[in-house]
Each structure stands twice: as C-alpha cells, then as structure tokens.
Amino acid sequence: MTKVLITGGAGFIGSFLAHKLVKLGRDVTIVDNLSMGRKENIDDIDVTFYQHDVCDHQFMHELLTKREFDYIYYLAAVSSVADSVERPLETHEVNQESVVDTLEYIRKQNLPIKRFLFTSSAAVYGNLPDFPKQEDSHVQPLTPYAIDKYASERFTIDYGNLYGLPTTAVRFFNVYGPRQNPDSPYSGVLSIITKCLKENKPFTLYGDGSQTRDFVYVDDVVNALMTISKQSNEPKVYNVANGGETPLIDVIHTYEKISGKQIKIKFAESRNGDINKSKADISRLKEIGFEPHWSLEDGLKNYWDYYAKK
C-alpha cells in the first residue's frame, strides 16, 4: 500500500488532502501539533495521527526511517504572516529549519521517497508589478514568513537539482473552503466573512474592497496537488490558484446572494503592506492536465451548504 506522510495534515488544506488520499486507499500518516489544525478535521478518517511538532527532529527522523514513506506532503507551517513578524526566530524554525532537516535526513539516509512536495505561498511575490504572477516572475519576500517560504522552496528544488531527490514546490494563492480556521484576524478573509454571516456579526473591510485576489476552492487545490505529485519531471515550482481575479467587494456581494443574508460592513483603513492586485498565471499547472472545476460562485455555495447542513 502506498504510504503517505502529511505534515500539517489536521489543518484546513492538509485535512482535505488526507480525506482524498484515504478515499483512494492510501496509508496516511499525519504529524500535526494542532497549533492551527484541529483533531476533529480528521476524526472521521482512518489515518495514523501523531500530535507532534515537526521541529522535533529526533521524532521526525525515527518516523521517516520506520515508515519509509512513498510521498511526503509538507504543509506544516506557522501560517500567520503577523505571527512571523512578531516571532521571526521561532517561526523560522518551523517554516524553514524543519523542512531542510527533513530533506537532509532523506538525503543522508537515502530514503526511497517517490515525491517530496513543499507548500510555499504567493507571499513570495510581494508587491511587485509583474502581472499575472508567473512562477518565474520576480520575487520580493517582505516578511519572515515569505522569506522562509521562499528559502524552503529553493532548498526543496535544490535538493532535487543537486542530489536527485524527486522534489516539487507549490505556491498557494487564496485558498478557501470549509474547515478553514477563522479565529485569527489574519485568517483567510472568506473564513472570517462566513463566520460573520453565520453569527450575524459585522465584517471589517480593510480598504474600499477594490483589492483583488485569486480565490481557489480547496477541492481544486487537492486535485492540483494530486496532479503535481504524479509527475516524474525535474524539480519545479507551480502556482496553485484558480487563475481568476475578483475584487473583494464583489466576493462579498456574491456571498450575500448565496447565503440569502446581508452582511454589515464596517470600513477601515487598508492594512499595512496589503497587496492591491493578485492573480496567478496557471499555465504551468494546466500543461500537466489540471483544470480548476470550481467557480467562485460554486465554491461559495458549497462552503455555505457545509455550514447549513451542520
């Protein structure tokens, strides 16, 4: 049976990936310290779960040797940019050192992996004018989070180029869907809007709502990861996005229609460093056979239905 490790597998994206892989009959192991993830995200699937920190190198080494995974999806991270600005050294240990340590251990021990996939972020592109963002557009990592994501992504690719490890990295754009944790002010904006709609609470809109994002539904993200990990090509980076661009205010109005509810908007100053326009060029992903299946409207419908049913 194919053995898969998902670090961060109890989190929002990781748990969707775990559900899909279990459905496909894979033997799935999850390492997650539950700092952002939740155990209930994976309670209903048959996985081996370790509540553990990926920074515990000894633990990770023993696990990697014992299980000899075929596929490793590296999603464990401190995903809050604000947190990385507050605690650059601690977040660096998770967002970069743990990744390099894992790659190095695989190299030194000659572990027989089929694919190591690291999840990076559109944050690496920063605020430069290149548009839409292509994988070889200029980068401008502006925060410790973005610096670590970029460096880990480069290490991942380099371990492929220098030592022949089968590696890949992806850059996530604005992923949304059920189970995204809305509890931090820096959580995905759609998880916050969903919570406000559900609880009839006002939503604080930073800026005038004209800022655009490339929103991609979590189901499409999982399909993109599956498509990418099947490739046996040289180490590459892929944008994972929908390839569309929607102003935030339009998203809010669409969601209001779908939910049949009106949201009370409190306008506030734009956030420091907020990006005005974001959109991915996903031709590289399309070249290997991926097509996004979820329009923003369908994704939002599914998202809302998930809560309506609960």
From candidates 111, 226, 249, 275, binder to ligand UD2 by CB under 6 A: 275
Q: Is the dihedral of CA 33, 35, 227, 147 positive or negative?
A: negative
| Secondary structure (3-state) at 203 | strand
Is 194 a residue that touches ligand UD2 (CB under 6 A)? no
Considering 73, 145, 150, 303, which one is annotated as catalytic? Answer: 145
Which among 11-19, 31-39, 153-161, 200-208 is the span making contact with ligand UD2, rule CB under 6 A? 200-208
Subset of residues 45 to 104 that bind ligand UD2, contact rule: CB under 6 A: 81
The amino acid that residue 206 corresponds to is Y
Strands 71-74 and 48-51: unpaired
Which among 112-120, 183-191, 227-235, 296-304 is the span making contact with ligand UD2, rule CB under 6 A? 183-191
Whole-angstrom distance, CA of residue 210 vs CA of residue 232:
40
Residue 145 annotated among the catalytic residues of the structure: yes
* Residues 133-172: x where in contact with ligand UD2 by CB under 6 A, - otherwise, as a string: ----------------------------------------
> Nearest-CA neighbor of 156 among 257, 74, 94?
74
Comparing CB distances to ligand UD2, the nearer of 41 and 174 is 174
Locus of tokens 């009959």: 25
Comparing CB distances to ligand UD2, the nearer of 8 and 160 is 8
Q: Which residues have CB under 8 Å from 10's CB, separation 6+? A: 30, 32, 34, 37, 38, 39, 41, 42, 49
Which among 92-100, 202-210, 230-238, 302-310 is the span making contact with ligand UD2, rule CB under 6 A? 202-210
Whole-angstrom distance, CA of residue 214 vs CA of residue 210:
13
Comparing CB distances to ligand UD2, the nearer of 91 and 156 is 91
Which among 87-95, 105-113, 115-123, 232-240 is the span making contact with ligand UD2, rule CB under 6 A? 115-123
Q: Is 29 left (phi over 0), alpha (psi -120 to 50) or beta?
A: beta
Instruction: Write out the catalytic residue numbers.
Output: 145
Instruction: List residues binding ligand UD2 (CB under 6 A).
Output: 81, 121-123, 174, 186-189, 192, 204-207, 211, 213, 248, 271, 274-275
